[in-house]
Each structure stands twice: as structure tokens, then as C-alpha cells.
Amino acid sequence: MGARIGTKRYRKAHEWSDLLRRQAGSGETIKEFCAREGVNPETFYKEQCKRRERQVSRAEVGKFIEIPQSSPASQRPPSHRVEIEFSDGMTLRIRG
């Protein structure tokens, strides 16, 4: 079990995984589940949010998207450029 410092209890990653899984299968609201388990609902929500963000970023890693050709390669000018703009503002430019 996690360590207790003062009145706070620090849980390990596997303990949070277990709590989140049990709450999801309990049929209880998060507020009800947290009251029964002695967990701060705000902390529960924060941990749930962190884990969802990690799942989303893991799901996006390594995915490729198809970029359709606008015209056959033989009809393209010899010099062309591809730009990919990412959501964080970074731009990848490929010149050929």
C-alpha cells in the first residue's frame, strides 16, 4: 500500500490503476466510490485525467496517415515541397 505522510496517503501507480478499474466496474458515482474508499474525489479526478491523457498520447504514437496524391507523379513539377504543421506549432518541410 502507499505511504502515509501526515494526513495524505500517497498511492503507487498500480494502486491507482486498481482504484480506477474498481470504480469503473462498481456502478457507483466517483463521489460515492471515493467516500467509501477514503479517497479525495478531486485527487481521483486528477489521476483519472492524467491516465486518459497518457492513453491518448500513446495511441497517437506511431500512427501514419495517408496523404493522397493530387496528381500523378509524372505530371508534377520536378521540384515540390511538402509541409506538415503540427498542433504545437512545429512545421516539418520536405523538399524534393
- Taking only the tens place, the pLDDT of each residue in 65-85 is 777 766 665 565 656 678 888
Cell of 91: 512545421
Task: Tell me if 41 is assigned to some domain.
Answer: yes
User: Which H or E run includes 51?
Assistant: helix 41-60
Task: Tell me if 87 is assigned to some domain.
Answer: no
DSSP line for 6-48: TTEEEPPHHHHHHHHHHHHHH-S-HHHHHHHHT--HHHHHHHH
Task: Tell me if 93 is assigned to some domain.
Answer: no
Q: Is the overall model pTM greater than 0.95, yes or no?
A: no
Task: Tell me if 47 is assigned to some domain.
Answer: yes
Percentage with pLDDT > 70 across the chain: 71
How high is the mean pLDDT of the chain? Answer: 80
Task: Tell me if 65 is assigned to some domain.
Answer: no
- Count how many domains the chain has: 1
Task: Tell me if 73 is assigned to some domain.
Answer: no
Instruction: Name the residue range of residue 38's domain.
Output: 3-60
Q: Give the per-residue pLDDT at 88.
A: 84
Q: Give the per-residue pLDDT at 18.
A: 94
Task: Tell me if 48 is assigned to some domain.
Answer: yes
